[in-house]
Amino acid sequence: MAQFHLRFEAEDLAQSVMLVGNPQRAEQVSKLLQGARLVNDYRYLLVFTGMYDGERLSVATTGMGAPSTAIVVEELCNLGARVLLRVGSAGGVSPDVDAGDIVVATGSIRDDGTSPQYLPLSFPAVPDADLLRITMEAARDLVPTVKHGVVISSDAFYRNYDKDRMSLMVQSGVKAIEMESGCVFIVGQFRGVRTSALFAIDGSVTKDAIKPKGGEALFKQAEEQSIRIGLSALVRASRAGL
């Protein structure tokens, strides 16, 4: 049954779905799918379904931030999605993460207002173990230098952490900061679906070099690689019976 914001039927959606924040990224992914069909454009939450390497997959736009992401994840679950893999962008936090890198999230620090409405902050925001393993395998096959670790998922794009708090994050090995993974993990846990997330890095927060000059080409390459990793991971998950 069509949902409030995703106005299509269950048969229009694959059980394995890539989540992207940017609708232009959804269009980019759709060009890699065979027979891709646009099944939703309401509120510009673009959703495409097609085939990739013999498996039926969908890509869905979540928009920016946890509230919009939670709505889309809820409605995808209502429509039959069982595996959700977020492919997004993030800023590096760890000194060894720069523009052009790829980070797979092993967990998320929830600094958002939506996920606590589902589960308390004491509940860990982590990806599904099996899907995480498959995501790491797919990532290493394409980009052997892929990094992994805990990320921050924060609502306030324009409000930076103070120096002491960011130093604590760096000291603790946090890899990157973005806006949606904590919500994806928690809503997925609440709804009983498998989740995972990886990110193309567009610069460094701690080095005050977000979207640095000359870094756009590095980011675009990492974005394309991340998309292909995500598609490969979804295919592997489908074939593994996840």
Mean pLDDT by 10 residues, the chain (242 residues): 96 98 98 98 98 98 98 98 98 96 98 98 98 98 98 94 94 98 98 98 85 85 98 98 96
The CATH architecture assigned to 10-239 reads 3-Layer(aba) Sandwich (3.40)
% of the chain at pLDDT higher than 70: 100
Query: Helix (H, G, I), strand (E, B), or coil: what is residue 34?
Result: strand
142-189 pLDDT, tens digit each: 999 999 999 999 999 999 899 999 999 999 999 999 999 999 999 999
CB atoms within 10 A of CB 172: 12
Query: Helix (H, G, I), strand (E, B), or coil: what is residue 233?
Result: helix
Give the mean pLDDT of the chain.
96
CB crowding 42-69: b at 16 or more within 10 Å, else e: ebebbbbbbebeebbbbbbbbbebbebb
- What is residue 42's predicted lDDT score, i.e. its pLDDT? 98
Domain ranges of the chain: 10-239
Q: Which residue has 């998950």 as its token pair?
A: 237
Cβ atoms of 39 and 12 closer than 8 Å: yes
Q: Alpha-carbon distance 113 to 169, whole Å? A: 20
Q: Alpha-carbon distance 37 to 34, whole Å? A: 9
Cβ atoms of 78 and 86 closer than 8 Å: no
Cβ atoms of 64 and 53 closer than 8 Å: no
Q: Alpha-carbon distance 176 to 148, whole Å? A: 10
Angle, in degrees to the nearest 10, between helices 129-142 and 216-239: 130
For this structure, is 12 an active site residue?
no
- What is residue 209's predicted lDDT score, i.e. its pLDDT? 65
Catalytic residue, candidates 53, 98, 202, 208: 202
- Residue 99's alpha-carbon distances to 19, 94, 242, in angstroms, are 21, 12, 32
